[in-house]
Structure 1
Amino acid sequence: MYDNISLRDYLATRRSVPAFQMCEPGPDKVEIESILKLAVRVPDHGKIAPWRFIVYRGNKRVEIGEALLALALEKKPELDEEMIKVERSRFTRAPVVIGVISTAGPHPKVPEWEQVMSAGAVCLNLLMAANAHGYVANWLSEWFAFDERAFPLLGVKPGEKVAGFIHMGSTTFPIVERPRPELQDVVSWVGDED
């Protein structure tokens, strides 16, 4: 997808693809390990790696979808057929989903906020590493990232938080641009003018 372009050109065109627009093939185990090796190259004050990964592949994604659907129906028994389908497919829309789990916590030298930001940096690196391997990707959280009832079935331990679920695969859809912020709306300048 992004072969043989400069980093500047890549960043100028980087775009997430909606998970529901993804299809096979997805990265295999060797490619996933290569993607993860790139992903961990983020700012990490104290070298404490305040995050970990859970890779969801194969039929286990179907089981997780059924379990998430059961949890969703407990909360909203009136879900219509379309939403039942959505809940059931949360982990099967893309061939591979990687959970980025924040293990941030009190530390004598590293503020917890810096640890949380490091987990966010890992999520972005995963998107870019997937693209570098020729795959499309999307960073999602969704309701179950914040519902501790779902944590045991997702492999999230007590005290951990979900930084995001990175969906990876291929697509047959055209990749279209979306509106981006205007710099004057998000930039403040302090200091001498050029």
Structure 2
Amino acid sequence: MTDTDPTIALLRRRRSVPPMTMAGPGPTADEMDTILSLAARVPDHGKLAPWRFIVFEGEARARAGALIAAVYAADNPGAPANRIELETRRLQHAPAVVAVVSRAAPHVKIPEWEQLMSAGAASMNLVVAANALGFATAWLTEWYNYDARVAEAFGLAPHEKLAGFVHIGRPTVAVEDRVRPVMADIVSRF
């Protein structure tokens, strides 16, 4: 396979794009359905679907940001107004944001580790599917990704965890590739 193969070419050019440099329009309803259905086509031992998706679009992004900012303000009562505004806008830069929720739980047959990896695979499939449709993406975790109050406000059950937030939009700037690992440093053969 060479770079003339469309899948190989897509994977070579995929880059994370800072959400602050994304613009609309975001995915249409049909495009989002495609992105999410492809995100769900991952290895899933036991067919547990140990993940789910929360879509933030339109006004929902501002409501989510207000929840994030309220938690931040409660923990940082002396925070300056510009920092509260930054927290408020966390999910408002890209026109669409998808939270991937890991539903990994003890199971008689399927190890939790496999369930966690399946959620990671769902996140990456989401990124690749969105990029294949011409969108830019960034799969991010920030402090609020790990905050139980934010998780509860977003409707997560006590055993669920956020695998991250995938920001989806249109690139407005060219993004340089970052330094990638030297293959000889990370590959061995048994």
TM range (shorter): over 0.9
Q: Alpha-carbon deviations, 1:57-97, whole Å to 9, x = none?
A: 11121122122111111112232344223201111011111
Divergent runs of 4+, >6 A: none
Deviation of residue 7 (structure 1)? 1.1
Structure 1 residues without counterparts, runs of 5 or longer:
none
Which residues of 2 match residues 1-194 of structure 1 at below 5 A? 6-190=6-190
Instruction: Output the CA distance in 1 between the equivalents of 2:96 and 2:163.
Output: 17
Deviation of residue 5 (structure 1)? 5.9
SS in 1 for 2:78: coil
Contact 1:54 1:155 in 2 (8 A): no
SS in 2 for 1:165: strand
How many correspondences in the alignment? 187
Question: 84-93 or 181-190, which moves further after superposition?
Answer: 181-190
Structure 2 residues without counterparts, runs of 5 or longer:
none
Q: TM-score, normalised to structure 2's length?
A: 0.93
RMSD of Structure 2 on Structure 1 (CA) = 1.5
Q: TM-score, normalised to structure 1's length?
A: 0.91
Deviation of residue 189 (structure 1)? 2.3
Q: Alpha-carbon deviations, 1:122-171, whole Å to 9, x = none?
A: 00000000011111111012111111011232222221011111110112
Instruction: Output the CA distance in 1 between the equivalents of 2:66 and 2:51.
Output: 27
